Amino acid sequence: MKKLGKFALLSLMLPIVASCQKTGSETSSSSSKPVQPSESVPSTPKDSSEEKESSNTDADDTFVIEAEYTDLYEADGTPKAGHGYSGGADGADMVQKDEDGSAKASNGYWVGYLYNKGLSLNFVFNSTKAVTGVTLTLRLSCEIKDMELTPDLWAVRVNDSDSSSRGIEYGSFSLAGASTSDSDNYVRPFTDRTSAVTIDLVEGKNEIDLVTINDITMGGTMYATAPMVDCIKLSHLSGSSLSYTKHEENLAAFEE
């Protein structure tokens, strides 16, 4: 069983990104309705036969999409190239495991190695209808350094294909308590951060991209500042049912 390293130091650890069914329409949309931020005290070959769909049973419940089940491959089929403190990890090797539960990862895994400008996690899902005023919460953690994420450093794009976009104006996500020592296996527990604005969903396919858009180094070969990502949560769905395809093959190495 692989050991977690909170520094993403060892390129032996595993990670994640997003994918789903390709149906429905896709447009650029976000809302400026303010919500109250919340805080709580987070390469193996691609095999479509391993994909399973997950959906919410109650349309008004919070819908969770796990980062470790997202598509960790680029559109051309090559694995996403992650960077860590010393070396990197590609594709499914970007997934890391919460070995003892102390990191409080919602499904026991998260995606790291996002320390490279332009690297993204892509959460693709379907909605049975268009919805406005959806609350978006991200479950995040940090390593090596504390950080304050803002849209000019780390973009949250909702149905937005503009590669230069800073995404929605989510406010700022402050992450403190990162371990600065590699002498233990401590991982700062993942915590929820809620966007300061709500978002809109279209009927059919939707995509939320979390994109590293800075080149502020964190040390070693961590060429940009970014968090570790556990999952995203969507709530206030106004009767819509959401579903997404789970890339369970990303966890294959942990089952050996």
Within-domain flag for 96: yes
20 belongs to a structural domain: no
Average pLDDT, the chain: 82
Average pLDDT of span 70-95: 94
The helix (H) or strand (E) run that includes residue 175 is strand 173-175
- pLDDT exceeds 90 at position 2: no
pTM above 0.75, yes or no: yes
What confidence score (pLDDT) does residue 22 get?
36
The percent of residues in the chain predicted with pLDDT above 70, rounded, is 75
Could you tell me if residue 11 is inside a domain?
A: no
The arithmetic mean of pLDDT across residues 169-190, rounded, is 87
Inside any domain, residue 180: yes
Check residue 112 and give left, alpha or beta (phi > 0: left; psi -120 to 50: alpha): beta
Mean pLDDT of 159-174: 96
**Mean pLDDT (whole number) for 150-171:** 97
Domain presence at residue 60: yes
**Total count of domains within the chain:** 1
pLDDT of 179 above 70? yes
pLDDT in tens, 11-60: 333 333 333 333 333 333 344 445 444 333 333 334 443 446 666 544 44
Query: Would residue 30 count as lying in a domain?
Result: no
* Domain ranges, residue 164: 48-255
* Size of the chain, expressed as the number of residues it contains: 256
Q: What is the CATH number of the domain that holds 77?
A: 2.60.120.260
The residues, ordered by sequence, that sit 6+ positions from 64 with a Cβ below 8 Å of its Cβ are 106, 231, 232, 233
Lowest mean pLDDT among 52-61, 99-108, 201-210, 227-236: 52-61
Answer whether residue 26 is part of any domain: no
The predicted-structure confidence for 97-155, as pLDDT tens digits, reads as follows 999 999 999 999 999 999 999 999 999 999 999 999 999 999 999 999 999 999 999 99
251 domain-assigned: yes
Question: What is the DSSP annotation of 42-68?
Answer: --PPP-GGGEEEEE-SSTTS-EEEEGG
